[in-house]
Amino acid sequence: MSAPFKFVSTNRRVREDRRFVVGRGNYVADIRRDGTLHVAIVPSAHPAARIVAIDAAAALAMPGVHDVVTGAELAAAVEAMMNGLDTPQVRRYSLAVGQTRYSGEWVAAVAADSRAIAEDAAEQIEVAYQPLPHVIDVEQALAPSSPLVHPAHGTNVLLDKSFVWGEVDRHFAQAPRQLSFRVTWGRNSTVPIETFGVLAAWDPWHEMLDVWASIQMPKYAEQIARALRLPANAVRVHYDVDVGGSYGVKRGIKHTVLVGYLARKLGRPVRLIEDRLDNMRSGDAHGPERIFDVAVAFDDAGIVKSMKMRALDNVGAYAGRAPFQLGKPIGAIVGPYRIESVQYRALSVMTNKAAQEAVRGFGQSPTNYAIETAIDRVAAALGLDRLEVRRRNFIRREEFPYLIPSGTRYDSGDYHTVVDKVLAHADWPALERERDRLRATGMLAGIGIAACLEPSGGNSSFEPLLNEKNTTTTWMDSCRIMIDGLGHVTVTIHTTSSGQGHETLAATVVGEVLEIDPDRIRVVRPDSLASLPSNSPVGSRMAVMLGGAAFHAAGKLRRKLIAIAAHRLGVAADALSYAGGAIADRAGQRLEWADLVTIAHRNFHLMPPGFEPGLEVTHVEQVPTGHALPTPDGRVQMYPCHSFEFHLVLVAIDPELGRTELRRYLIGHDCGTVINPHIVKGMTLGGIAHGIGAALMEEFVYSEDGQMMSQSFMDYLLPSAHEVPKVEIVHHCTPSPFTVLGQKGSGESGYLGAPAAVSSAINDAVSPLGIVFDKLPIRLTAISDAVAAARDRNRDR
């Protein structure tokens, strides 16, 4: 199918918005069940301590308190949570077992008639601790003398895997120039405004655990069932729960295992809704914290031939799925550039910080920050224009599909054109003049540049790449379409959503194929037991995967309708044309939609032989291109599609206050065929805001004694409308050859380049003072301190 489209890419409203603007979202905290008990948590006071004793007698004696559960009890009754890597000695339960491994870690849980009573009771629980040595700094954790976070594992290293793709040694040896540097990505996260919550109810007569959760977790029901030692068909996850923002982090297995266990034990519905402190300190939802050591080999023209990257990630106290965030960026390890060879060492190291979880981009945004810093440094080393260096290194339009050294074939792109369009829109010379004018007024001013990719369509090839025991080669999503006896269309999707507009996506695509108004299509979400195999909206995948499933299901339905008509009219299927739901041949014979529905639902005698009655189709979509396990030398096709974004930002910094003001922000964005322009725009603007936060404000800071210092929104600052500028979006469309409509993903757009762009702008602004910022976030205080110190240095000279 190719443009022009009837509904795809048109400015249609997003159907989900209607329930949200009247306050009728169905969030987990809105779901009430009679007799529900509420959970509050007892957090660890120490970053590492042996749990000597837990005295819950006073708490249990309080009116309204039903139970106090400890890690020892829980560990005897449930399985440890799944690890992504093959690290069986890094055992993780909902509650600390025997020892605590980070400050705030859950030590015990109270179930009571209200959350307030549960909190009161939690304060009455006395835990005797024997503090143990702890480690917070990731490089100290690597040292042989370091305390061990999990002594049974024997090391703090969860993953240390090196790859060499191409002739790195030769390229470095032959390159006329080299440079190396270190940049650091601070620990931040997505911090949704709705915290994580879950409600579970056990029905012993049906032997069924019903779960409502603000969840965005692939294989969620399976993981709960496995941990609770239940058959998977005894866990029913309700997907019609609206999730109040996630952007990756709402994985909630530890929360769900805890409330699932309590619900079964107590015979009552049990819910745990994190408060903000629970969420930030112990929700296990921090993002990557990463030190990059990068070296590049290049020539006098600025052509980068080879790159060595060592990524050292502070993953926190447990394994989970988070270490895979070092694997996903392998699929775009050279960014949009023709770098011929790469050496990559991925190190995931545990410390006594909160456990990490997936964050928007799954490690790609930090990696893009490192790659873009490299390109800026190459330009600076040669005295070349930063744009020109990028242009010289970009993969060219005619080179796609383009195979990168690590084994992924990029689908399509036209990077030079996107950059040209943005520069024209921005009036580049005027932008430079404005920067220079600002500098003349005494401000620090700079222009930031970042070009990067958003791998999309999420398969899970990083799993077998980083864990040889894992043989995953599918990461499906699915769609069912039913036409009822009155001819109305209902489409099912099989996951929760957290604001991405998947109902609109599915209706638009089905409407496009069936040529019926998407507003007439109902979209519903069955529970997990009535669902087809699907994963969740991770990895910027739903436009590609749900879009693909909906497209193919609708195509099957269309072909079925044509086959019914062909049989009824006694002509060959290829003699018929389908238009707007009616089918006709060239002789003027015609069957309307209602006729076809009647045949399928009521006139089995008129159906083609071998057909089942009714009009129902399903399609389970395999990730395009993702069919093979990694090769022995560590190459694999990661995600199928690669959206491109080019950021241009002008900053002005008050040299006394250090406050960074984003004067102008432009982004060129190419995600192929756009299914709904409003949704893509919203994702891009939201991603940029999130990236601005990561660049300037947001960080979970730990003290040396292991306490988390950013425990509220007074300390962990989120961008408000004042900090986010008006963003100018320049569109471009290079369709993907690997998807049904030419679409690519956009769920991580903006976020993947904004931190790099803002860093680039600030470094451009402070470069006249000889200052280099090589760690994010670049806070106001860091800037004012560095400027003051630079001025002192200059004065002393």
- Identify the helix (H) or strand (E) that includes residue 121: helix 115-124
25 near other proteins, judged by CB under 8 A: yes
Beta strands in 267-391 (DSSP E): 270-273, 290-298, 304-316, 341-350
Cβ closer to other proteins: 180 or 712? 712
Residue appearing with tokens 């099912």: 492
Counts of helices then strands in the chain (DSSP H, E)? 20, 29
283 in contact with other proteins (CB under 8 A): no
Whole-number minimum distance, CB 688 to other proteins, in Å? 6
Nearest of 256, 199, 745 to residue 502 by alpha carbon: 745
Phi, psi torsion values for 577, nearest 5 degrees: -120, 145
DSSP reduced 3-state for 402 = strand
| Segment contacting other proteins by CB under 8 A, of 238-246, 263-271, 396-404, 600-608 | 238-246
SS3 category, 349: strand
Cα 367 from Cα 686, distance rounded (Å): 20
Interatomic CA distance for residues 374 and 360, integer angstroms:
22
Could you tell me the smallest distance in angstroms from the CB atom of residue 354 to other proteins?
18
| Residues 793, 797: Cα–Cα separation, whole Å | 6
The reply on whether position 152 binds other proteins by CB under 8 A is: no
Residue of the chain from 8, 14, 40, 51 that contacts other proteins (CB under 8 A): 14
> Is residue 795 involved in binding other proteins (CB under 8 A)?
no
Please, what is the minimum distance in Å from the beta carbon of residue 691 to other proteins?
Answer: 9
Cβ pair 349, 288 in contact under 8 A: no
Residue 709 makes contact with other proteins by CB under 8 A: no
| Nearest residue (CB) to other proteins, 374 versus 754 | 754
CB closer to other proteins, 275 vs 656: 275
Edge-to-edge, what's the strand order for the sheet holding 641-653? 444-456, 641-653, 660-670, 727-731
Q: Give, rounded to a whole angstrom, the gap between the first and last alpha carbons of the chain.
A: 68
- Give the range of 255-263, 295-303, 329-337, 710-718 binding other proteins by CB under 8 A: 710-718
Q: Which of residues 727-746 bind other proteins (CB under 8 A)?
A: 727
Q: How big is the site for other proteins, counted in residues (CB under 8 A)?
A: 56
Q: Which stretch binds other proteins (CB under 8 A): 192-200, 253-261, 296-304, 446-454?
A: 192-200
Give the binding range for other proteins (CB under 8 A) out of 49-57, 186-194, 652-660, 783-791.
Answer: 186-194
Alpha carbon separation from 445 to 599, 663, 761 (Å, rounded): 71, 10, 8
Nearest approach in angstroms of CB 33 to other proteins is 14
64 interacts with other proteins by CB under 8 A: no
Cis peptide, bond prior to residue 533, ω within 30 of zero: no
Q: Which two tokens stand for residue 779?
A: 């806070």
Q: Which stretch binds other proteins (CB under 8 A): 27-35, 176-184, 572-580, 769-777?
A: 27-35
Residue 682 Cβ, how far from other proteins at the closest point, in Å? Answer: 5
Burial (0-12, 13-18, 19+ Cβ within 10 Å), 81? buried
| Three-state DSSP state, 439 | helix
Angle (CA) 320 321 323, round 5° = 100
**Proportion of the chain in helix, strand, coil states, percent, rounded to 5:** 35, 25, 40
Q: What's the closest the beta carbon of residue 729 comes to other proteins, in angstroms? A: 9
From residue 702, alpha-carbon distances to 219, 325, 461, 672, 718 in Å are 32, 22, 33, 41, 18
Instruction: Looking at residues 377 to 436 of the shown chain, list those that interact with other proteins (rule: CB under 8 A).
Output: none
Which residue from 17, 86, 519, 792 is in contact with other proteins, where contact means CB under 8 A?
Answer: 17
Q: How far apart are CA 110 and CA 42, in angstroms?
A: 8
Q: Does 53 bind other proteins (CB under 8 A)?
A: no
Which residue, 214 or 364, is less far from other proteins as judged by CB?
A: 214
Which range of residues in 43-51, 99-107, 476-484, 709-717 is near other proteins by CB under 8 A? Answer: 709-717
Q: Which is nearer to other proteins, 23 or 231 (CB)?
A: 23
Other beta carbons within 10 Å of 471: 9
| Shortest distance, position 598 Cβ to other proteins, whole Å | 31
Q: Report the amino acid identity of residue 531.
A: S
Does 24 participate in binding other proteins (rule CB under 8 A)? yes
62 touches other proteins by CB under 8 A? no
Per-residue contact flags (x/-) with other proteins for residues 611 to 640, judged by CB under 8 A: ------------------------------
Least CB distance to other proteins at residue 498 (A): 5
Minimum gap (Å) between residue 281 Cβ and other proteins:
13
Using CB under 8 A, pick the residue from 92, 390, 664, 681 that binds other proteins: 681
**Is residue 578 helix, strand or coil?**
strand
- Radius of gyration of the chain from Cα atoms? 28
- Residue choice 64, 555, 682, 737 for contact with other proteins (CB under 8 A): 682
Among 23, 63, 144, 610, binds other proteins (CB under 8 A): 23
User: What is the 3-state secondary structure of 18-62?
Assistant: HHHHCCCCCEHHHCCCCCCEEEEEEECCCCCEEEEEEECHHHHCC
Is 689 a binder of other proteins (CB under 8 A)? yes
- Smallest gap from Cβ 678 to other proteins, in A, equals 4
- Considering only 405, 407, 687, 777, the residue that binds other proteins (CB under 8 A) is 687
Nearer to other proteins, 658 or 691 (CB): 691
Q: Pick from 53, 76, 152, 193: which binds other proteins (CB under 8 A)? A: 193
Instruction: For other proteins, give the closer residue by CB, 195 or 743.
Output: 195
Please name which of 432, 340, 335, 405 lies closest in space to residue 375, comparing C-alpha atoms: 335
Distance CA 306, CA 296 (A): 6
DSSP, collapsed to helix, strand or coil, labels residue 429 as helix
Q: Which is nearer to other proteins, 117 or 596 (CB)?
A: 117
CB-wise, 539 or 750, nearer to other proteins? 750
Residues 487 to 526 in contact with other proteins, rule: CB under 8 A: 498-501
Contact between 231 and other proteins by CB under 8 A: the answer reads: no
User: Three-state DSSP class for 106?
Assistant: strand
Which residue, 12 or 480, has its beta carbon nearer to other proteins? 12
Tell me which residues in 79-138 interact with other proteins (CB under 8 A): 116
- Determine which residue in the list 112, 532, 615, 688 makes contact with other proteins, applying CB under 8 A: 688
With respect to other proteins, which residue has the nearer C-beta, 122 or 766? Answer: 122
Give the interface segment with other proteins, choosing from 18-26, 344-352, 406-414, 604-612 (CB under 8 A).
Answer: 18-26
- H or E segment and range at residue 452: strand 444-456
Joined together, the tokens standing for residue 171 give 């390229």
CA atoms within 13 A on the CB side of 10: 14
Identity of the residue, 39 or 688, whose beta carbon is nearer to other proteins in the bound complex: 688
Locate 38 and state its tokens: 């509420």
- DSSP structure string for 663-684: EEEEEEEE-BS-S-HHHHHHHH
CA nearest 255: which of 383, 55, 93, 463?
93
Total residue length of the chain: 797
3-state SS, residue 478: strand
Among 469, 609, 721, 795, binds other proteins (CB under 8 A): 721
As measured in angstroms, the least distance from the Cβ of 119 to other proteins is: 11
Contact between 718 and other proteins per CB under 8 A: yes
Q: Which residue in 247, 298, 318, 551 binds other proteins (CB under 8 A)?
A: 247
Binding residues for other proteins (CB under 8 A): 13-14, 16-25, 27, 29-30, 116, 190-195, 242-247, 273, 275-276, 498-501, 678-679, 681-682, 685-690, 712-714, 718, 720-722, 724, 726-727, 750
